[in-house]
Chain A
Amino acid sequence: MRDGFYGYVRDDGQVGIRNYVLLLSGTLYANPTCERVAHTVQNTIPIVHPLGRCQIAPDLAQTFRTLVGHGINPNAGAVIVVDHFKEAGCEADAIAHEIAQTGKPVEVVNIRNAGGVVQATAQATNLAVALNRTITGQQRDKVTLDRLVYGINCGTSDVTSGLSHNRCVGWVADRIIEAGGRVVGAETTEMMGGEELIREKAKTPAVADKLLGYIAKMEREILACGVDLRGSQPTGDNMAGGLSTIEEKSLGAMMKWGTTPIVGAVDYAERIGREGGLWLMDTPGHGGESITGIAAAGAQIMSFATGGGHTINHPLMITMRLTGNRESWSRMEETTDVNVSDMFDGTTLDQAGERLLNEVLDICDGKMTKAEALREWNAFAITRCGPSV
């Protein structure tokens, strides 16, 4: 088994598997400026979103934490934060200040100070070109597997999820953890019904209680809306794929966790601790929101396992897709990286798992995912805890 990968070792000890200039939009109103620069300058990644303004304080803090987490993510070699004004609680200078603690180059472009969006675009374009010149000379170094933070997620789940591809992800998670690495899972909705398993797998009762608290809170919030979960979860595509209840969906989703204990639980977009092992984050089942939380926690790469086929791709955390459903592979091979549907025809979990791990490490070394080659940037979405105000 391979014991490491080639990455960009950062000043703060994290290891990037890409070396992008990140164009980080501070608010909805800076999005087009980031996108214009990204269309012009090679090796830049735009992160755009509808938030950063008129949010209640806990939401604004969550937006701030998520944006900072993306700036800190080691796949960004340098960052340009773009903003149109100063928003107390989510200010571009404060975001940049936090990111600068990593030692990576950070710049701020303020649209109002620049003299408008055209001037801001010019300023950010010049900065992006210069930052590329600064960071792209850096070489990849061989590092051991314990430097990997591996994100795990799934979507458009069906019955094959719990039987094939999620188990494969769990196999890879086990190998990375055995080597001292960290794995980050999420999706509180898909822990509902799995409480018994969580109690068994949690390293300490405190970890179990924290996770069970997240689940209970989510269930309360759903009921407080005057609805029950049936009709929303499992989703229509889950049901068509043979999943009958949220419990069945959850237990299939939890196959991704592998067999090692859960060492810690964190809030949405919170950074995980240094301890190697499986970490779980409180996020909704919504794919864009859950994988955004995981990227903010510092994962360089994610395996996204899909039953019915999926088009999700995070802009900064490299998202490799796999399926163990033969029909999905035939329909969506163009954007699915790994097929393990032969697990239904006698291929063992060890064989399929090793194939997935090799692909993960190839991608860490620089091999493009199919979605990356297509420059698909569709899954940055910050979750919310309250209304817009």
Chain B
Amino acid sequence: MTQVAAEPQTMLRALIVHPDDNVANLIGPGQRGQRVQCVVEGQDQIETIDLVDDLPSNHKLARRDIETGEPIVKYGLIIGKASRPIRRGQHVHAHNIESNRGRGDLKS
């Protein structure tokens, strides 16, 4: 009998490092319109988010809508702030978030 190969996994996966995080890390690359299963580390619960942008390998996506100036949280800690509004499922990177540190124009 011919062994039937398992269906290739079409659903993308992402990791949420800490429950408080508002971003998730995609595992591998992703394309706009694809559905992502996001797992919070150490928890069984899965969140499903549809990608709004194409994402390079392992980049971040927004777990929820984020306002301009709002902190970006990963590892449960602040890694920067939104420089423009970000929608759930959007690519989160240097084009829409910025650092709070090592800057001449900000008091650290």
Interface residues of A (CB under 8 A from B): 158-160, 162-163, 192-194, 196-197, 219, 222-223, 226-230, 233, 239-242, 244-248, 251-252, 325, 327, 344
What 7 pairs across the A-B complex have the smallest Cβ distances?
Answer: A229-B102, A245-B99, A248-B79, A245-B80, A242-B59, A247-B79, A159-B58
Cα separation A344 to B15 with both chains bound (whole Å): 9
How many Å lie between the Cα of A239 and that of B59 in the bound state?
A: 9
Partner of B102, one of A158, A159, A196, A233: A233
Q: Across the interface, which residues of B come within 8 angstroms of A163, CB to CB?
A: 15, 17, 25
Contact in complex: B58, A251 (CB < 8 Å): no
Is there an interface contact between B56 and A240, defined as CB atoms closer than 8 Å? yes
Q: Is the pair B59, A223 in contact by a Cβ cutoff of 8 Å? A: no
Find B58's partner among A158, A222, A223, A239 (CB 8 Å cutoff).
A158
Contact of B77 among A196, A239, A241 (CB under 8 A): A196
Interface, chain B (partner A; CB < 8 A): 15, 17, 25, 27, 56-60, 72, 74-75, 77-80, 92-94, 97-105, 108
Contact between B25 and A222, CB atoms less than 8 A apart = no
User: B101's contact among A239, A244, A246, A325, by CB below 8 Å, is which?
Assistant: A246
Cross-chain contact of B27 among A162, A246, A344 (Cβ < 8 A): A344
Interface of B is mostly: loop
In the assembly, what is the distance between CA of A242 and CA of B59, in Å?
Answer: 5
Q: Is the CB of B77 within 8 A of A197?
A: yes
**Alpha-carbon gap, A162 to B15, bound state (A):** 12
CB-CB under 8 A for A244 and B105, given A160-B58, A163-B17, A197-B77: no
Residue of B nearest to A219 (CB): B102
How far apart are B12's CB and chain A's nearest CB, in angstroms? 12
Bound complex: CA A325 to CA B28 (Å): 10
Query: Is B108 within 8 A of A162, CB to CB?
Result: no
Choose from B25, B100, B102 the contact partner of A242 (Cβ within 8 Å).
B25
Asked if residues A247 and B103 are in contact (CB atoms below 8 Å), the reply is: no
A194 / chain B contacts, CB cutoff of 8 Å: 77
Contact A248 B80 (CB under 8 A): yes
A159 contacts across to B, CB distance below 8 A: 25, 58-60
Q: Are B79 and A251 in contact, with the CB atoms below 8 A?
A: yes
Docked-complex contact A192 and B102, CB < 8 angstroms: yes
Does A247 lie within 8 Å of B59, measured CB to CB? no
Known: A230-B103, A247-B101. A162 touches B57 (CB 8 A): no
A197 CB to closest chain B CB, in angstroms? 7
Residues from chain A with Cβ under 8 Å of B100 in the complex:
193, 245, 247
Which of A162, A223, A240, A325 makes the CB contact (< 8 A) with B75? A162
28 example contacts (A-B, Cβ-Cβ < 8 A) are as follows: A158-B58, A159-B60, A163-B15, A192-B101, A192-B102, A193-B77, A197-B77, A223-B102, A223-B104, A226-B104, A229-B99, A229-B102, A230-B98, A230-B103, A239-B93, A242-B58, A244-B80, A245-B79, A245-B80, A245-B94, A245-B97, A245-B100, A245-B101, A246-B101, A246-B102, A247-B101, A248-B80, A251-B79
